[in-house]
Amino acid sequence: MRFDSIIGQERPIRFLTQMLKKKNIPHAMLFTGVDGIGKRTTAMALGMALNCTNPVGVSACGECPSCQKVISGAHPDMITIRPEGAFIKIDQVRALSRQLRFAPLEGSWRVVIINDAQAMNLEASNAILKVLEEPPKNTFIVLTASQTTDLLPTIVSRCQQVAFRPIPYEKVAEVLVELQGLDRQTATTLAVSTKGSLGKALSVDGEKWTVWRARLVEQISSFSIRSIQPVFGFVAAIASDKDRLVDALDMIMTWFRDVLMCKVSPERIINKDFMTKIQNASQGRSVNELLEKVEAVHAAQTAISKNSNPRLALEVMMMRVLK
Ligand SMILES: [Zn+2]
């Protein structure tokens, strides 16, 4: 929970520690960025630091009674709100508003962390807006969201914004090697596949992921337009595995990107452990042909992110990449 233990977010951390040093605490902040890059951890570290009775520099000590309570989730002045099901509901915000009418119980600050604030429905958003318009004394609110456009502009304008960026791949890979004992190559490809989200990379079982990825590459590299039946089976399997659909498409994207890179800039190939397969796939293909394949995968990703039928989008993609 110390600021210097938060990985790959030097800029936001510098900004926040300066803010603590100057004791210039805004009523509300908005942390934006993709999942798993440290927004929540930073919000907790900040809340903990504000109420720590024995801070180390500006970081929380992690040992005083206040810190201990935060760590065990029992601090009465640290309130976390997260979606219940798909949404943050009006009842959750109403309960919060009631709590905020009273002064903090133990700490000097009451800290409210609203995770995935984009999950607030309109009613809940309007209720939070009321709180932000008349911020209670000694209350510090942090909202986390993927991007500002997911929130009401009136909410965004009342928060001090801090943008969190994806963590550099090398950093994520380093942590994976250290904490999960993965080899460097697997760690790097996993870091790239999870797009700099350390949280996501750490949640993956490295061994299972390696097997899954190898199988996917094996299939995608072996298909031919002359034998289309296995392709439909492949598409059906990916389309029905909803939890991994986006990951599978990302993996397919890095594959075709690598095949293209093999022509133009081989040192930038990500899946270096499949070098022979990548070379074979790029042989006899023009850069334009390979660009068209990357474009086909991109089109499928876009269509699926806009809720198109995954199976249909994948079939069209496969026809285009196998041409
Ligand atoms: Zn402490």
Evaluate whether the domain defined by 205-322 bears CATH number 1.20.272.10.
yes
Domain positions in the chain are 3-163, 205-322
pLDDT tens digits, 170-215: 999 999 999 989 999 889 989 988 888 999 999 998 889 989 999 9
Q: How far is the CA of 49 from the centre of ligand 1 (A)?
A: 7
The Cα–Cα gap between 246 and 313 comes to: 12
If you count them, how many residues does the chain have?
Answer: 323
Count the Cβ atoms, other than its own, within 10 Å of residue 269: 20
Q: How far is the CA of 73 from the centre of ligand 1 (A)?
A: 14
Helix (H) or strand (E) holding 161: strand 160-163
Q: 160-163 and 139-145 as β-strands: parallel, antiparallel, unpaired? A: unpaired
Q: How far is the CA of 70 from the centre of ligand 1 (A)?
A: 9
Both structure tokens of 246? 């986006």
The Cα–Cα gap between 121 and 127 comes to: 10
Q: What are phi and psi of 141, to 5 degrees?
A: -115, 130
Both structure tokens of 93? 């915000």
120 strand-pairing partners: 88
Q: How far is the CA of 76 from the centre of ligand 1 (A)?
A: 15
The pLDDT assigned to 33 comes to: 96
Q: How far is the CA of 60 from the centre of ligand 1 (A)?
A: 5
Q: How far is the CA of 261 from the centre of ligand 1 (A)?
A: 50
Listed residue (144, 143, 150, 137) closest to 110, CA to CA:
137
64 close to 108: Cβ distance less than 8 angstroms: no
The pLDDT assigned to 5 comes to: 86
Listed residue (203, 219, 209) closest to 189, CA to CA:
209
Q: How far is the CA of 74 from the centre of ligand 1 (A)?
A: 14
Q: How far is the CA of 71 from the centre of ligand 1 (A)?
A: 10
Q: How far is the CA of 108 from the centre of ligand 1 (A)?
A: 13
Q: How far is the CA of 53 from the centre of ligand 1 (A)?
A: 5
Q: How far is the CA of 142 from the centre of ligand 1 (A)?
A: 20
Q: How far is the CA of 69 from the centre of ligand 1 (A)?
A: 9
Cβ-proximal residues to 242 (8 Å cutoff; 6+ apart), any chain: none
Q: How far is the CA of 50 from the centre of ligand 1 (A)?
A: 9
To the question of pTM greater than 0.75 for the whole model, the response is yes
Q: How far is the CA of 111 from the centre of ligand 1 (A)?
A: 15
> 136: phi > 0 → left, psi -120 to 50 → alpha, else beta; which?
beta
Structure-token match 């989008």, residue found: 313
Structure-token match 């089109």, residue found: 299
Q: Which residues of 55-75 are buried (b: 16+ CB within 10 A; e: fewer)?
A: beebbbbbebebbebbeeeeb
Q: How far is the CA of 210 from the centre of ligand 1 (A)?
A: 41
> Which CATH superfamily is 3-163 part of?
P-loop containing nucleotide triphosphate hydrolases (3.40.50.300)
Q: How far is the CA of 42 from the centre of ligand 1 (A)?
A: 15
The pLDDT assigned to 224 comes to: 87
The pLDDT assigned to 2 comes to: 84
Q: How far is the CA of 59 from the centre of ligand 1 (A)?
A: 8
Stretches in the chain below the pLDDT threshold 50: none
Q: How far is the CA of 24 from the centre of ligand 1 (A)?
A: 20
In the chain, where does DSSP find H-type helix?
Answer: 10-21, 39-51, 65-71, 90-100, 122-133, 153-157, 169-180, 184-193, 198-203, 206-222, 229-240, 242-264, 275-282, 287-305, 310-322
Q: How far is the CA of 58 from the centre of ligand 1 (A)?
A: 10
Single-letter amino acid code for the residue at 69: K
